[in-house]
A and B are shown apart, each in its own frame.
Chain A
Amino acid sequence: QQQVRQSPQSLTVWEGETAILNCSYEDSTFNYFPWYQQFPGEGPALLISIRSVSDKKEDGRFTIFFNKREKKLSLHITDSQPGDSATYFCAASNNNNAPRFGAGTKLSVKP
């Protein structure tokens, strides 16, 4: 049962463009949504997160847009840089369960 879905599976953008990564979930009790960034050979690291009481969270070039009614969220990376090339995991949790990770989006930013 895949509770957290991500799309696209892979994404290529040019340097300076905005990358949009999508995530959706099924369990309406999920209330915490972290995004993790993972570089090859390393463990995932928290990039940015949002709680279900908010519809937007911004941190520099990274912004999460959250639509609770549609159970969807997206991560926008503005002014994409080659150093942003990584795999991005959307995760979701509630008060009773450990975070469930989506399958990830592999982002490539071309200079």
Chain B
Amino acid sequence: NTKITQSPRYLILGRANKSLECEQHLGHNAMYWYKQSAEKPPELMFLYNLKQLIRNETVPSRFIPECPDSSKLLLHISAVDPEDSAVYFCASSPGTGWNERLFFGHGTKLSVL
């Protein structure tokens, strides 16, 4: 799936700050960040609809989302914790009717030393 691109693909961190990036080329209005830990299902972290944060699940404050425009999504991480090791997926959907298909990117695999 090259219509949702994420960077970087792999990230190895100590207690550093880093940002994950996502861009979608589908013209969708909604973008999401999901966290998938090993052998677990994806869990919703944040949702943006037309650049507005409309749903913020309970995640640690060291994760800060940003949506500079409707096609881009960032996830800023500060002082990562070992429990943050996971794959972070960006996803998008045409709108936020909830009952819509989600399109996922390939993910960024974060490994915390």
Report A's interface with B, CB cutoff 8 A.
31-32, 34, 36, 41-46, 49, 51, 89, 93-99, 101-104
Residues in B91-113 with C-beta less than 8 Å from chain A = 91, 97-99, 101-107
Task: Report yes or no: B41 in contact with A32, Cβ–Cβ below 8 A.
Answer: no
How many chain B residues have a CB neighbour from A under 8 Å? 22
Kindly provide the distance from the CB of B31 to the nearest chain A CB, expressed in whole angstroms: 12
| Chain B at the A interface: SS class | loop
Kindly provide the distance from the CB of A65 to the nearest chain B CB, expressed in whole angstroms: 19
Partner among A45, A49, A94 whose Cβ is within 8 Å of the Cβ of B98: A94
Task: Report yes or no: A43 in contact with B104, Cβ–Cβ below 8 A.
Answer: yes
Task: Report yes or no: B41 in contact with A43, Cβ–Cβ below 8 A.
Answer: no
Report B's interface with A, CB cutoff 8 A.
1, 4, 32, 40-44, 47, 55, 89, 91, 97-99, 101-107
B30 to A, closest residue via Cβ: A98
Task: Report yes or no: B105 in contact with A46, Cβ–Cβ below 8 A.
Answer: no
Task: Report yes or no: B99 in contact with A44, Cβ–Cβ below 8 A.
Answer: no
Task: Report yes or no: B107 in contact with A43, Cβ–Cβ below 8 A.
Answer: yes
* Assembly CA distance A97 to B44 (angstroms): 11
Kindly provide the distance from the CB of A2 to the nearest chain B CB, expressed in whole angstroms: 10
Contacts of B41 in A (CB 8 A): 89, 101-104
Kindly provide the distance from the CB of A61 to the nearest chain B CB, expressed in whole angstroms: 20
Task: Report yes or no: A95 in contact with B42, Cβ–Cβ below 8 A.
Answer: no
* Assembly CA distance A55 to B99 (angstroms): 17
Task: Report yes or no: B98 in contact with A99, Cβ–Cβ below 8 A.
Answer: yes
